[in-house]
A and B are shown apart, each in its own frame.
Chain A
Amino acid sequence: MTDAGAQLAEQLTGFAKRIFPVVNRMNYYQLLNVPPKADVPAIRASFYQAAAQLHPDRYHVIADAQTREQLETIYARIAEAYRVLTTPDKRQAYDAGLAEGKMRFDQKDRDAKGPKNPEDSLTHAEAKKFFRMGMICHGKKDWKGAVMNFNFARTFEPAAAVIAEKLAEAQKAQTAKGGGVGK
């Protein structure tokens, strides 16, 4: 290895040691080293600079496989940041998620016209569980059971629109039918 190669390897190894442990706590702007209001040309310029240093083609000089893998993970995350922040609708969704503390763009947000499974929009585990049980009752037309479970779910996540909506639906059906099936 040339002196320049050895120096490059040392720099990259140091970078991997520093960044890899915290990569999941870095947001896209931090990864790209740009201010949150940066425009697309500024983001692109910063990404190209990062790519010129951190693309996997650059670290064949590093013998250690683990370091190479860590660098690849960091670089993949930077490329992801570039992809999301240079696509207007994705950037908007990302910024909204970031405000709630989500560091990565969630693929599912992309087709967020309505999550396929309504419970996906819930965050509390208990809320999800009771919501799911409510939906099972809903499926069996057991409106009484559905109302009960949706009410439980609401106690864990009172603000969730999807629970309110399904609860209202079940209550309406319950009144119309005058109780559950069978008993």
Chain B
Amino acid sequence: MAVVGIDLGTTNSVVATVNGGEVVVIPDAQGRRLHPSVVSFAADGTKTYSHEAVARRIVDPAYTVYSAKRLIGQPFRADEVKMAASRFPYRVEEGNNEQAVFVGPDRAYTIPEISGLMLAYLKQCAEGFLNEAVTGAVITVPANFNDAQRRATMDAGRIAGLDVMRVLNEPTAAALAYGAGQNMSQRIAVYDFGGGTFDVTILQVEGEVFEVLATGGDTFLGGDDADTMLLNVLAELFMTQHKIDPRQDPSSRARLLLAAEQIKRHLSDRTEAKGELKNIGVGPQGEPLNLRFQIDRTLFEQSISTLVARTLRTCDEVLSAAALLPSQVDEVIMVGGSTRIPLVRAEVQRHFGRAPRIDLNPDEVVSTGAAIQANNLAGGAGASETAVLLDVTPRALGIAVAGGFAEPIVDRNVQVPVEQTRIFSTSADNQTVVRIQVCQGESRRFSENTPLGELELSDLPPARRGEVKIEVTFRIDTNGILRVRARDPNSGLGKEAAVNIRGQMSDSEVDAAAAKIDATAVEPAPRL
């Protein structure tokens, strides 16, 4: 039996394990260590994964799901979902409990089901490689993932038949990979610019204690956005050559987007990319249309300069939350494929006044840390000598109070686990029911925060407003997952009411999906 660490990325996933005291990044049957987070669905119910599925983004864009991480744990109506769904060639609709669901050729799939399929594929890769059963996993998430996104990620793990030992923040995992066993005393910044998310975390590392001082980020800023910027550049070129907007056709758009990603990578090593992309579109007479292009690095850098500037603004916010100046950071660790972009490295160096550490593989460092933590939690090493990770809440958590305001109960950047209680009172005479609406975010206005869900406390004694007190307790565990308890301290009447989280699968839906995965058995990658 083995446990693994999984970096379930927006674009690519990596799975690693500790084997004989060494971290091993697990390849697929073809020896590839980076597994595209893509699942393609055929009408007969069969699925293709990872590299094989990437090819299907062109031939079957409507049924090939990528970037599922941008949707996970978000209700269908969330702006982010609307924005992302409008760009995806696959269809996203509203399902049960406000969930966003993907419309597959055979049925609708919830987003945790899709991520669950990807995780099941990774689990199988690992089992094939290790030749033993994989039972547990530490799965990483962006530090600024909210409660709902974390729960949905855990659901995905359960669907894949994994015991999710911990949902671990990606930058914390990276810090662990960097500092575990080094007995260092350093203040480090982890600059994590991935495929779909950006975050930055400041940590104090003292021996085996990794204390997160502050974290922050942008859930909707990543390499994908750089691809889109470049796609627009290519589309403009195509329009000047053919007078047709290739973005109108899903297949043309998909081809250009994949080309944009390749050009982006190319421009990290070279200063110019030029060539011809064949069969991007079809002309009025049915003739294939090609695109000749020549893009130099400067043009690319101009197109993404606003994205990079946004990351540096976030760095400043997080540093100020930790009451630190950029010069007070001893090392900057670069994580995520987007940190290969020369402009990103140069801007980070300028901002922090020191060269960032690029010696750790930015694609693998997160899964490496996750594997170390999985091994620690499984008791693979002597428990007392292993690292202890002191992580924090990425956002404030609070409840709605009269007047459309939000009252925080737990602030952001507070260490977990945490338990906080606040007393509230009724706002109307003879009020016997209170509805406690839970939100995540720092705004004083409830509507400006992310609503998470609600719970009700009923059978309160009728009394004048303000006379009935309600004690609300938030408890957040080391996974960053919230439990809410509400009680009337006078009558002792109380309940640990479960918060009904918007946009989530119910437990029974998760169990049913997990059973379905068992029954269909994940097809392993075809072996050559």
Chain B residues with CB below 8 A from A79, complex form: 390, 415, 417-418
A76, B418: Cβ atoms under 8 Å? yes
In the complex, which residues 19-62 of chain A have their Cβ closer than 8 Å to any Cβ of chain B? 48, 51-53, 55-58, 60-61
Which residue in A1, A8, A75, A132 is a CB contact (below 8 Å) of B417? A75
Which residue in A1, A52, A76 is a CB contact (below 8 Å) of B384? A52
B419, A76: Cβ atoms under 8 Å? yes
Shortest Cβ distance from residue A140 to the other chain B in the assembled complex, whole angstroms: 15
A57 to B210, CA, bound (A): 13
Q: Interface 1/0s, chain A 60-86, versus B by CB < 8 A?
A: 110000000000110111011011000
In the complex, whether A155 has a CB less than 8 A from a CB of chain B is no
In the complex, which residues 124-170 of chain A have their Cβ closer than 8 Å to any Cβ of chain B? 132
Chain B residues with CB below 8 A from A72, complex form: 417, 477
Greatest chain A CB density within 10 A among B165, B415, B477 is at: B415
B209, A52: Cβ atoms under 8 Å? yes
In the complex, which residues 403-443 of chain B have their Cβ closer than 8 Å to any Cβ of chain A? 409, 414-415, 417-420, 422
- Contacts A56-B478, A132-B466 given; indicate if A61 touches B379 (C-beta within 8 A): yes
Shortest Cβ distance from residue B422 to the other chain A in the assembled complex, whole angstroms: 6
Chain A residues with CB below 8 A from B415, complex form: 79, 82-83
Task: Give B209's nearest chain A residue, CB to CB.
Answer: A48
Chain A count of residues within 8 A CB distance of the other chain: 27
- Contacts A57-B376, A57-B478, A61-B383 given; indicate if A83 touches B388 (C-beta within 8 A): no
In the complex, whether B127 has a CB less than 8 A from a CB of chain A is no
**11 other contacts beyond A5-B379, A60-B379, A80-B419, with CB at 8 A cut-off?**
A8-B383, A51-B388, A52-B208, A53-B384, A55-B390, A56-B417, A72-B477, A76-B417, A76-B419, A79-B415, A79-B418
A80 to B416, CA, bound (A): 9
In the complex, which residues 134-168 of chain B have their Cβ closer than 8 Å to any Cβ of chain A? 165
Shortest Cβ distance from residue A102 to the other chain B in the assembled complex, whole angstroms: 13
List the 3 closest A-B pairs by CB distance, nearest first: A48-B209, A79-B415, A76-B417
Chain B residues with CB below 8 A from A8, complex form: 383-384
A53 to B388, CA, bound (A): 9
Chain B residues with CB below 8 A from A75, complex form: 417
A80, B418: Cβ atoms under 8 Å? yes
In the complex, which residues 375-392 of chain B have their Cβ closer than 8 Å to any Cβ of chain A? 376-377, 379, 382-384, 388-390
Which residue in B208, B376, B382, B419 is a CB contact (below 8 Å) of A4? B382
Task: Give B410's nearest chain A residue, CB to CB.
Answer: A107
A–B pairs, 6, beta carbons within 8 Å: A51-B390, A57-B478, A61-B379, A72-B417, A76-B418, A107-B422
In the complex, whether B245 has a CB less than 8 A from a CB of chain A is no
B379, A56: Cβ atoms under 8 Å? no
In the complex, whether B272 has a CB less than 8 A from a CB of chain A is no
A5, B418: Cβ atoms under 8 Å? no
Which residue in B209, B384, B419 is a CB contact (below 8 Å) of A51? B209
A179 to B309, CA, bound (A): 65
B477, A56: Cβ atoms under 8 Å? yes
A120 to B409, CA, bound (A): 17
Greatest chain B CB density within 10 A among A61, A75, A76, A80 is at: A76
